[in-house]
Amino acid sequence: MAAISSSVHCLLSCNSHHLQREQSGSLCRLGGSRVFVSSSIWKLSLFSGVDSKRRRTLICAVKGDPEEAFKKTVEIDRMIDALRDANPREVEKLVLENILAFDEGFWIRLAARSDTCKSDDDKKDYEELATTVMTIVDCVVNKTREKIETSTDILKGILRPAIDGVEEISWPPRDPEAINLMEKEIIQREKEGQLDEGFLSEVSAQLRQAKEDRDKPGLLAMLQKVLQLYSATILSKRSYAKKGNEVVKAEHFLETLIKAPEEQWNKLFVDGLTIGKGDITPDELSAVIKKRIERTLIRTVSNGRRFIPAADLD
């Protein structure tokens, strides 16, 4: 029975999303999430007022394996060459597709190449390229910040029934109706199209932070519940319990589990499975869970989504 319960957890995790990439010097924490650090400081410091001798010293002082440093330099040079050869539309596309590449190493290398230019025209081209890339990256920063602020407000709205007037967050909430209100809020916001990937990333970032802090078990459980309620809402939008006029009992039972609160699962297992009082075998339930996972993966991948690890829901 524990294995089946774990399978249901896995299914609930499949329709949620999280993808976080980190690169030193290119990301910072903001409101529990991470956003790109503005490249302005690098452009200004490397192209305005810092002498070339000091820049070369900075380049030579880089620590690490020389072979890896050389490979990194080659990668940056390829990116710079591609940006120089691209038209304005292509430059924007390259920057957006490789946004994490524009860290301090990129700006140092770009400044170093500018120093080696033999003509003022070439040097000006590099400075204009730096300004263009900086502008695009800063635009991404601002849009990301706005998106995080919006996602944070949405999450606060969902959690409000459980945290309003509460000095210390505990789980389950003292008011049993709070969970029902949270679920209604999630359903309504999902209908309005507010629960997008930015929202899921915000929940996941807050969840990881709560795990790292280790002193907020109530918040951790609450955020896990938000992900479970979201997954159940999405999975419940489409039913596979009927084939024509025939009811597929195993599918119907699975959909009952998805919609039910987790604390009711044990009773549902006992009443529905043949190992208890029911007529659905564990193998039948496992088969429809596997099938639903496959359908969910196909549907969400086709929509360009990725998934939150099942551990975030446990």
Q: What is the CA radius of gyration of the chain?
A: 26
Q: How far apart are CA 152 and CA 155, in angstroms?
A: 5
Q: How far apart are CA 105 and CA 280, in angstroms?
A: 60
Structural domain tally of the chain? Answer: 3
Q: Are residues 204 and 246 in the same domain?
A: no
CA distances from 226 to 136, 171, 230, 259 (A): 34, 12, 6, 14
Q: Are residues 58 and 114 in the same domain?
A: yes
Domain residues for 276? Answer: 240-314
pLDDT tier at 285, thresholds 50, 70, 90:
very high
Q: Are residues 44 and 135 in the same domain?
A: yes
Q: Are residues 41 and 108 in the same domain?
A: yes
Tens digit of each residue's pLDDT (9 = 90 or more) over 120-160: 888 899 889 999 999 998 888 887 777 777 888 889 899 98
Q: Are residues 131 and 226 in the same domain?
A: no
- pTM, whole model, 2 decimals? 0.53
Q: Are residues 230 and 304 in the same domain?
A: no
Residue 59, pLDDT score:
45
Domain presence at residue 134: yes
Q: At what angle do helices 249-259 and 217-235 cross, to 10 degrees?
A: 140
Domain end point (choices 186, 208, 237) = 237
Domain presence at residue 182: yes
Q: At what angle do helices 120-163 and 177-191 cross, to 10 degrees?
A: 140
Q: How far apart are CA 206 and CA 222, in angstroms?
A: 11
Going by C-alpha positions, the residue among 149, 139, 177 that lies closest to residue 161 is 177
Tens digit of each residue's pLDDT (9 = 90 or more) over 186-220: 999 888 888 888 888 888 888 888 888 887 888 88
